[in-house]
Structure 1
Amino acid sequence: MKQKTYNLAQLNITKLKADLDDPIMKEFKDFLAPVNQLAEESPGFVWRFKDETGEAAIDVETPFEDSMIFINMSVWTDYESLRAYTYDTVHSYFLKSRKKWSEKIDGHQVVLWWIEQSHVPTLAEAKSKLDTLEKNGPTPSAFGLQKIFEPE
């Protein structure tokens, strides 16, 4: 019997303070492509959600009612790879500086879940996982950064 192999999917959302063309968003917008490229070149990176042009998913239809919700969804081989990219690269600057560009969101902004290695998550699936985390707290099927579950 073949053993299933898993990857870690993640969705994070941000409520932007202004449209990306607004001058206060310039630094954020200017660094989207380089930070996304850094992710793609990072150890453990598998996939990220993109628009039709291959760029950050800015003008895509999302399952979120608020048009100012900016989404980032990616897949990694394991939590350690995601953690290293998030906190040990220039990406950490954008986390620390997020108040410049984003407003507080009630509830969870990040959800993680394990997927079979060949699976590509959808935005509807990711939104469902975020809703599950919000409703039930961390479980093996949807969890946040504070409590990491192992696959199966």
Structure 2
Amino acid sequence: MATTHGTPTTGARAELAQVNIARLRFPLDSPQLKVFVEGLDPVNAVADAAEGFVWRLRSDSGNATDVQVFGDDWLIVNMSVWRDAEALTDFMYAGRHRELLKRRREWFEHAHEAMTALWWVPAGERPTVADAEERLLHLRQPGPTERAFTLRTRFPAPAQAH
């Protein structure tokens, strides 16, 4: 069962939700994924302490590798909420996360469709996996819109997030 982590930001009208899914090339307990799996807790600890971090999806395991997405056991999901896109990118492209990101092709299949989506949520609201699936499917059809977008094609926070 997924639980929440983090504290709602006060005073913000909207926060940035993100989902990132990936299709594994090997089972999580395989030797090929050892470096990735061993990196999860340290990277999550950095995220949890990052400026602008609000919340991340996690199960009883402490991460979300056992949370199912799209009914596919070979997909893993990462979902979090941030103050804004700048806070998210500051975390993504620095330190240990950046090191692991460089090696993603070793561990995950190359995707030909959107596997990452961003959207605004009202401050304090925590998205569900079903929300994330819907946003990814939306992004795959019409492309980036205010409903689901990417870091390259961003939309400003609305006065009232939906």
TM-score (norm 2): 0.87
Contact 2:27 2:33 in 1 (8 A): yes
Q: Which residue is equivalent to 2:91?
A: 85
Q: Which residue is equivalent to 2:27?
A: 19
1:58 pairs with one of 65, 71, 81? 65
For these two proteins, the number of residue pairs brought into alignment is 148
Q: State, as a whole percentage, how many aligned pairs show the same letter.
A: 39
Q: Which residue is equivalent to 1:119?
A: 125
Aligned equivalents of 1:60, 1:13: Cα separation in 2: 11
Aligned equivalents of 1:61, 1:143: Cα separation in 2: 22
1:132 pairs with one of 135, 138, 142? 138
Change (3 A) 1:4 1:20: closer
Q: Report the CA distance between 1:129 and its aligned residue.
A: 0.4
Aligned equivalents of 1:70, 1:5: Cα separation in 2: 30
Runs of 4+ in structure 1 deviating by more than 3 angstroms, as ranges, are none
Q: Which residue is equivalent to 2:16?
A: 8
Aligned equivalents of 1:56, 1:150: Cα separation in 2: 29
Contact 2:114 2:136 in 1 (8 A): yes
Aligned equivalents of 2:131, 2:29: Cα separation in 1: 29
- 1:36-87 CA-to-partner distances (Å, cap 9, x unmatched) read 111001000000000024x11122233x132111100000001100000001
Report the secondary structure of 2:88's partner residue. helix
Unaligned runs of 5+ in 2: 1-10
Report the secondary structure of 1:136's partner residue. coil
Unaligned runs of 5+ in 1: none
Report the secondary structure of 1:33's partner residue. helix
Q: Which residue is equivalent to 2:153?
A: 147
Aligned AA for 1:61?
Answer: Q
